Amino acid sequence: MSVMSTILLGPQRFTTTVGAVVRGLGVSGRIAMVNAGWEERESDDAELAGHLDGRGVNLALHHRMTDVLAKDEQVATAVREFREGVDELRAFYGIRLQSAIDAVEAVAHRTSLHDVRPWAEEAAIQSVRDVDKWYAAAVAERHAALRAATSPEVSGIVGWHRGEVGAVLAECEAVVLAGGNVRVLLETLRLFDVSLRPEQTVVAWSAGAMALTDQVVLFHDFAPHGVTAAELHDRGLGRLRGVIALPHAKRRLRLDDHERMALLARRFAGHELLLLDDGAVVRFEGVDGTREGADGIRQGASSIPAGARVIDANGHVCVVEAA
């Protein structure tokens, strides 16, 4: 097992720290830039490249995906069917999820004279987990079908792009993953089989930070259409296991609603809810050898470093103390 260094940052829009963090690493070689989440603005990378002292090389994953979809009709059809299928699945998932969340809240506020409520509440939360598990399994099936339809054996142009991306990554000492649309970012990372070597230093923020974990959760308690439940979106690359990254936490979560935060923590038991607000710098040092046990609980999960802010089981924000 190889030692890895992964650094998650707070959002870079208002408080830019990526340049100082990368310079502090002492990285002297080329740095791969992954900003496919910016979609059509992917090539507008001068500012990001400047923070990397001109050593950044853009993998251009969004541009590559556009090229593949334009030139390979079979892949384009498979991607379109995948997106449409997941969109429909998410609609049904949302109905089931909201119903399950409503049940938890109803049970939590029901008076109990004989200590029945704690058992009922845990059972209700387990029902939410079951809905998440159902959705995750259904998405995994669709990913498997998409992988088969877009393999290099099926599509020569996908194979060609994968070869180019792999060659560039092999020459890079570090990788930087920016934010943007997490769905697009994950799609491109998978299509081109982006593999981050354990010894490569990786710096990521916002959608990029979410993509490095094993469970990507979407959340926004202040959405214009009202408060909605956090949704399991997809599986990430799994470089950081047992961690759920929550960028823009202060702006998107009702952190002072401890009951709501406790439900979120209990729902994703076995994972640490990591807050990534402006100025956050969270450095993980570990080994690339984590795995998932038969019970679904992460084994060898990434250890949250001291100083990081997380949501504890009681729904309170706390700072991780040194061991």
Closest to 9 in 3D by CA, of 291, 194, 280, 309: 280
Q: How far apart are the first and last CA of the chain?
A: 23
- Rounded to an integer, what distance in angstroms lies between the CA atom of residue 111 and that of residue 201? 52
Annotate 152-165 with b (16+ C-beta within 10 A) or e (fewer). eeebebbeebbeeb
Same structural domain, 85 and 128:
yes
| Pairing status of strand 272-276 against strand 30-34 | unpaired
Same-domain pairing of 142 and 161: no
Average pLDDT over the chain, rounded to an integer: 92
Residue 289 or residue 274, greater confidence: 274
Pair 286, 269 in one domain: yes
pLDDT computed for residue 41 by the predictor: 97
Question: In terms of domains, do 57 and 187 share one?
Answer: yes
d(Cα 239, Cα 214) in Å, to the nearest integer?
A: 7
Q: Are residues 276 and 216 in the same domain?
A: yes
Which pLDDT value is given to residue 107?
95
pLDDT digits (tens, 9 = 90+) for 15-46: 999 999 999 998 889 999 999 999 999 999 99
Q: Work out the percent of the chain whose per-residue pLDDT is above 90.
A: 85
Q: Are residues 131 and 9 in the same domain?
A: no
Q: Are residues 94 and 230 in the same domain?
A: no
Q: Please say which residue of 111, 129, 149 terminates a domain.
A: 149
Q: Tell me, what amino acid is at 3?
A: V
Let me know whether 207 and 266 are in one domain: yes
Residues 162 and 286 in one domain: yes
CATH number of residue 216's parent domain: 3.40.50.880
89 and 139 within one domain: yes
pLDDT, tens digit (0-9, with 9 covering 90-100), for 279-313 = 999 999 864 434 333 333 334 567 899 999 999 99
The residue out of 131, 149, 167 marking a domain boundary is 149
Residue 43's domain spans which residues?
A: 3-70+155-319
Q: In this structure, are 85 and 51 located in the same domain?
A: no
Total of domains in the chain: 2
Q: Are 96 and 227 found together in one domain?
A: no
- Given 105, 125, 149, the domain boundary residue is 149
Q: How far apart are CA 166 and CA 196, in angstroms?
A: 10
